[in-house]
Amino acid sequence: MNKLVAAALLAVCCAAQAQTTPPDVAAHQRQELKRGDPARWYKADRSTAAQLRTLRKEINAAYAEAKIGCRKMSADERSDCMKEARDTYTADLGNMRELNYAANHMDTSVYETTGR
């Protein structure tokens, strides 16, 4: 049963990825995943400069994904989507230091959210 669930999840993930990821990038990702997780994934960005470089890469990747999604919309929706993506990108770049600070100083307290 677990293999069936895993196969179904893989199919859903691949379908979702195919919707936004260019085919050449998806093929490269599949090749890299066959080798396992890169060691860099488990090495922390210790300096603020390294964290900001990583954050900039993430912001750029999110913007690229948003633009791909916008291009698939109808013409009348596309311009609004692209404007929103551009605005988010600009705001995120402008707030990089604040975003990095917030990520490094997250409150790890446990809060009761059931309303009891």
> If pLDDT is split at 50, 70 and 90, which confidence band does 43 have?
confident
Q: What is the pLDDT at residue 65?
A: 95
- Nearest one of 26, 21, 19, 23 to 72, comparing CA atoms: 19
Tokens 């990108």 appear where? 89
Q: Are 104 and 50 in contact (CB under 8 A)?
A: no
Answer yes or no: is pLDDT of 84 > 70: yes
The mean pLDDT value for 97-116 works out to: 79
